[in-house]
Amino acid sequence: IRPETLDQQDFVTAKEGFAITRSLENILERNNITPKSVMHMMSIDAAYIMSVEGDKISYVYDICKFQGGYLNTPVFCVLAGDEETCTFQTAVRSDEEISFILKEFIRITKDAVRQVKKTNEI
Element at 39 (helix H, strand E): strand 37-40
Closest among 47, 56, 51 to 10, alpha carbons compared: 56
List the one residue out of 26, 24, 34 whose CA is nearest residue 4: 34
SS3 108: helix
pLDDT over 90 percentage in the chain: 29
Read off the pLDDT of residues 3-25 as tens digits, 9 standing for 90 and up.
899 999 999 999 999 988 998 99
Model confidence, pTM: 0.64
Give the number of C-alpha atoms closer than 13 A to the C-alpha of residue 36, restricted to the C-beta side.
11
